[in-house]
Amino acid sequence: CSSSNIARSKEDMFQNVLSQVAEQFSRAFRINELKTEVTNRLAMLEKRVELEGLKVVEIEKCKNDLKKLRDEMTSRGGVRVNCNCKYNFTDDGKKLSPRRDVPSYPKYTLSQETIEALKKPTFDVWHWEHNEMLSCLEYMYHDLGLVKEFNINPITLKRWLLGIQENYRDNPFHNFRHCFCVSQMMYGMIHLCNLQVRSHMCILMTAAVCHDLDHPGYNNTYQINARTELAVRYNDISPLENHHCAVAFQIISMPECNIFANVEPDSFKQIRQAIITLILATDMARHGEILDSFKQKVDNFDFTNEEHVKCLKMVLIKCCDISNEVRPTEVAEPWVDCLLEEYFIQSDREKSEGLPVAPFMDRDKVTKPTAQIGFIKFVLIPMFETVMKLFPQIEEIMVQPLRDSRDHYEELKQIDDAMSEKKKTESMSLGGKKK
């Protein structure tokens, strides 16, 4: 006070200090209140923006749906898009999530040349991108009259096909291209064998599309020997095929992917059971059993007999599943490389885990010719020749290429054997000179 020449009493000074302290506290509280208020307002604004943005997105989606469906609008109308269901279906906890949006894969317009080629086993499956294969599958369902027969919403068909594609893993062999390959061969056989009943066509095509869903790249033998979750879940009985079925119907159970939404419950139950039967028939452990059953029926085959037709459908999907060697060599041979790569990955893992290794999967024991000759001679040709008894028209376009493929690999084996013998002789000769 004396230095600033301000005359104040001690009480005034004390009161002044208290006032300043009180003002500082007041400001601090106001700042906190202001922070809280600003935070709350920001949160409200963010929520509002989010809600408004979602509304705009949903409106645009609805507009797109209406635009695409205006010519196919049915009495039920609209597309059900609100599904909160999610399914666990793989060992690693991968989720199968519904697609709310209108499928956006680029539309591929099929030329007349492609449309005709799709019906033939000579179709080259290596020249197509995923969106093109999706468009081809979509065309097949329309061309066979399945969309009309089962009142399938075209947008639902697109979503279902996308769901299928997304649930094939990126394995060397058991991938989406293999799915397309099998489905295209089935489409070709339906035309070649002149199958007419649309319910059978739908079951055959849908089973082919779904037959290897979420294949992990390791076969049933590995699943059982390694005691995987799939083997335990299905009691060592066709664990992979049971899993493919489960995934297929988990996808179909989602409303926006349900291509059978307009089918009566009793009819759907029959379709579901038939599809399951066909997918389970692709387990090669049952090959002999299924082929023997068909052989007993084929000479007196009755198309009005449900058991006969069921057995035929099982054999047809088996034919398509392992039909690569029916195709031209330049199309078929890369598939052998893909299969051997997948086999070698499995056998290497089996060796590292101390599990039994099949000789035909061992990179140290198998060659491309040895892998194919026995399979073509003892599995493929006998099965296709049996089908040929019922449909003689397949001989030239399917059975003869198998015979040519067998001869091709036998020639390759002779060359390999000659080369091995030559190396062996040269090695012995060099050994003798050293002595």
Tokens at residue 66, please?
Answer: 């209406």
Annotated binding site for AMP: 174-178, 212, 321, 372
Tokens at residue 154, please?
Answer: 């075209």
Closest by CA position to 147, among listed 201, 189, 184: 201
Active-site residue flag, 174: yes
DSSP 163: H
8 Å CB contact between 196 and 149: no
Alpha-carbon span 212 to 171, nearest angstrom: 11
Chain centroid to CA 216: how far? 11
Annotated binding site: 174-178, 211-212, 321, 372
Alpha-carbon span 14 to 78, nearest angstrom: 78
Query: Which ranges of 118-153 does DSSP label H, i.e. alpha helix?
Result: 130-143, 146-149
Alpha-carbon span 323 to 320, nearest angstrom: 5
Tokens at residue 4, please?
Answer: 């600033």
Catalytic-role residue among 174, 200, 243, 244: 174
Backbone angles phi, psi at 101, to 5 degrees: -85, 160
Q: What angle do CA 27, 33, 34 make, to 5 degrees?
A: 85
User: How would you classify the pairing of strands 87-88 and 95-96?
Assistant: antiparallel
Question: How does DSSP assign 18-51, residue by residue?
Answer: HHHHHHHHHHHHHHHHHHHHHHHHHHHHHHHHHH
Angle at which helix 306-321 crosses helix 265-280, to 10 degrees, equals: 50
Closest by CA position to 294, among listed 399, 203, 199, 388: 388
Return the residue matching tokens 């009819």.
Answer: 267
**Active site (catalytic) residues:** 174
